Amino acid sequence: MRIVALAGGIGGARFLRGLREAIGPEDEITVIGNTGDDIHLFGLKVCPDLDTVMYTLGGGIHEEQGWGRTDETWSIKAEMKEYGVGPEWFGLGDRDFATHLVRSQMLTAGYTLSQVTEALCVRWRPGVRLLPMSDDRVETHVRITDEQGTRAVHFQEYWVKLHAAVDAEAIVPVGADTAKPAPGVLEALAEADVILFPPSNPVVSIGTVLAVPGIREAVAAASAPVVGLSPIIGGAPVRGMADKVLAAVGVEATAEAVALHYGSTLIDGWLVDTVDEAAVAAVEAGGIACRAVPLLMTDVAATAEMARAALALAEQVRR
């Protein structure tokens, strides 16, 4: 079985760890990772979502945070502060710095982001094929209005520095409209037996991947069933502040609303948590098969059960 998953950061990475446990030894997983969160800091190219997937599946993630490296130290950050060089709000640990140094050196030498990601994965051996959504530069920006007036900020500044405390008025994936899917992305979607949308942010993670011309169309045209898992449980995000960016695109923070936001032209099946079982009928009225199952990723075993439920629903809705 060839499985393709569109994924963002923490939620996507943790789901993939369960998916990897749920499949057989002959099955293959290709991950199309969001690069809209990418940012240039300290002269380095930082790819938060790609790295979170790589570290999580490779056993190097800081489990409590869900991002960054385990056993991290912060000497470089402290020295940068002494020099008065920021930003201080974005934490890069010493071990993490090494990844960004290697990536930036390779990009400067002329390698593509796809090639660099493949090379980094040689060390981490994540057990999946990890592809960036595009080799072209795409950055998600958020339009806000605060004491400085109406302005656009990088998504990382909105999320990490401002903690999404200001209303998001618009989400703009800058550069996405002229970007091209990375090599292998469209081919993986066309050849997939199952396509999954993990419980990643539907606007700034999976939504940004789908914003690259050709990817949404390839998902919609795929012969494989497309099944998503709700990142919203009981009317609130499981993690993070997805409700803030959902509001910016006019979508309620409910499991039902997110399913209908994707729509029946894109997804065939949708899993909601058992606390949202009342949403099943409304989702199915929208032309999307829906089941209620436990969706809290409390550990790898529970997450593997979620993945099995998604694969089972995919078989039920196979076109």
Contact yes or no for 65/74 (Cβ under 8 A): no
287: left (phi over 0), alpha (psi -120 to 50) or beta: left
* Structure-block tokens of residue 40: 């240039």
The owner of tokens 């393709």 is: 4
Which pLDDT does position 239 carry in this prediction? 79
178: CB partners within 8 A, 6+ apart: 136
How far, in Å, are 40, 70, 110, 301 from residue 67 at the CA level?
18, 9, 28, 20
Indicate the pLDDT class of residue 185, thresholds 50, 70 and 90: very high
What percent of the chain is modeled with pLDDT above 90? 95
* Structure-block tokens of residue 313: 């629903």
Q: pLDDT tens-digit profile of 215-261? A: 999 999 999 999 999 999 999 998 778 899 999 999 999 999 999 99
Cis, peptide link before residue 87, omega less than 30° from 0: yes
Q: Radius of gyration (Cα) for the chain, nearest Å?
A: 19
Partners of 289 in beta bridges: 269
**Amino acid letter at 304?**
A
Which pLDDT does position 184 carry in this prediction? 98
**Amino acid letter at 150?**
T
The pTM of this model reads 0.95
**Integer Cα distance of 296 and 201 in angstroms:** 15
Partners of 153 in beta bridges: 142
Using DSSP's 3-state secondary structure scheme, residue 36 falls into: coil
How far, in Å, are 37, 160, 163, 184 from residue 93 at the CA level?
18, 15, 20, 32
Q: pLDDT tens-digit profile of 34-63? A: 999 999 999 999 999 999 999 999 999 999
How far, in Å, are 93, 94, 303 from residue 75 at the CA level?
8, 7, 35
Residue 307 sits at the vertex; the CA angle it makes with 306 and 312, to the nearest 5 degrees, is 100
- For the stretch 201-228, what's the b/e string if a residue is b when 16 or more beta carbons lie within 10 angstroms of its beta carbon? bbbbbbbbbbbbeebeebbeebebbbbb
Indicate the pLDDT class of residue 287, thresholds 50, 70 and 90: very high
Partners of 46 in beta bridges: 39
Count Cα atoms within 13 angstroms, Cβ side, for 256: 14
